[in-house]
Chains A and B, each alone.
Chain A
Amino acid sequence: MKIGYYPGCTLKSRAKNLEDSALASLAALGFEVEELPRWNCCGAVFSLANDDLIHHLAPVRDLIRAKDAGHERLITLCSMCYNTLARANLLMKHDEEKRKTLNLFMEEESDYFGEVEVLHVLDFLRRELGWEKLRAAVKRPLEGLRVAPYYGCTLLRPREVAIESPDLPVMFADFLRALGATPVEFPEATACCSSYQIIANESAALEASAKILRAATASSADALAMSCPVCEYNLGRRQGDVRSKHEGVGELPTFYFTQLLAIALGLPQETLGLKWNEASSLELLKKKSYLTVSA
């Protein structure tokens, strides 16, 4: 059966590279995913403070759409969307009173009890395929590529929706290892990139990014991998600003983890959406001769 897929807004615009590389990879691995026929913004821009029910409407409505489309599982790529959907799902599963209110409010939709399982694609790959099989599917191992796996916050916090134990996360590193890359450990792997603070409090945000980038470079990483468009914005798009404002930050190419996956699976360059990455990312791939153009 096809697996439900929730893209999220950014993946349809600035983070096209995240979506394109992921969908191509999943297809290459033999998974059939199907975008929800109707969906709205997951609501990630809002706080999901527990007493603020109105902001649960958006994610819950997406979950209902998934259920109505007949999906038991819903995968997401963006960590923000994952986090929002997973938290809203928990609330619908466990908080009887709020569930009742939300279901009553959305009376034009079918009632929802948290039936759909929300999965981040990293976790999905681990469970459905396993790292051994993934390793076997790799056509072009990323040998000698030192990658810093950056989790950020939303894959691991709050604990109830973490894709693995937030105390000692290993999944990202395992994934990179399966691709043939060398994961490097660095202390800021689960630090916050400062997210939307980049708008309200730019200097503090750039400083936070500087700290992360410095730590990754210090562990002699060739590249930084992540799964969130907001992190990518702060650490990739704005890296130039970080460097110009903060000493000791070297240039560090950034990738979505799905781009590395697609490369390792030997998929052609056009599935990578590299025009959305910074120039340094492309250069690195060229230097490593990782790129192929489809026949």
Chain B
Amino acid sequence: MSQAPESLTAKLIPIYIMGKRYEVPETLTIMKAIEHAGYKFIRGCGCRGGICGACGTVYRRPGDYRIHVGLACQTVVEPEMVLTQIPFYPANRASYDYATMEAVGAAVGALYPELFRCVACNACTKVCPMDVEVMDYIAAVKRGDLAEAMRLSFDCIQCGLCASRCMGELPQYHIAQLVRRLYGGKLAPATDHVDAMVKKIADGYYQQKIDELKKMSVDELKKLYTAREQEPHQAPELWKAKSAEGL
């Protein structure tokens, strides 16, 4: 399992990095191809795993007027592709006081009045490398359906490509982030079991038990560890342990 001497044998194909031709192994991702050509990334590369949104890339194929997009770290090169990364695109984010902000569409609209400049051109959705229905979540925010907007925007990795293409000049991904937080903290059902546990711990309910564990020898701990009861994989949510020890 040594580090990819990847594709020394793979066929070379021509790609155009910002218009300039390079020959790269056909099995590489765009990211590795750019490195193969001799670039060293500072921008345009983050997680290398398709989740951070640093590596948004747009490209065109010969004879096709369409703009294609992909994450450089996830997309395999194609012959004759002409590409550039868009590692940064200005988009204004509105600061807000989370604690006092009301979780309603109107409050979002007040922070982002440009929301109502959306003409449903769909350029955002077409350019999204994560197949997020950007236009649809914006539509949901406009009608105050924050739950739906949160659901539709959940896979957003904030690469900013939507904002780069928007003719209404919206910063969609910032709006989506705001909406997801409003939903998660203010609209999603309360989680009483968490609060109850926090209180129990604060009240010192488990302290004695934990102190005992901390003082135990490794052998004693091992015994307890081996004997501890396992919640079965298929157990129902309200499974009850046989022993009340430590609960």
Contacts and interface: CB of A to CB of B under 8 A. Distances in A.
B143 A61 contact: no
Contacts of B138: 40
Given A13-B105, A13-B106, A108-B126, A43 B120 contact: yes
Contact of A39 (B104, B116, B139, B167): B139
Interface residues of A, number: 21
Nearest to A39: B139
Interface string A1-38: 00000011110110000000000000000000000001
Given A9-B143, A12-B143, A12-B144, A57 B136 contact: no
A43 B119 contact: yes
A285 interface: no
A191 interface: no
B169 interface: no
A41 B121 contact: no
Contacts of A7: 143
Nearest to A38: B136
Contacts of B126: 108
A46 B139 contact: no
A214 interface: no
A58 B119 contact: yes
A9 B142 contact: yes
Contacts of B105: 13
A106 interface: yes
B116 A40 contact: no
B17 interface: no
Given A12-B144, A13-B143, A61 B120 contact: yes
B145 interface: yes
B118 interface: yes
B122 interface: yes
A73 B138 CA distance: 26
A9 B144 contact: yes
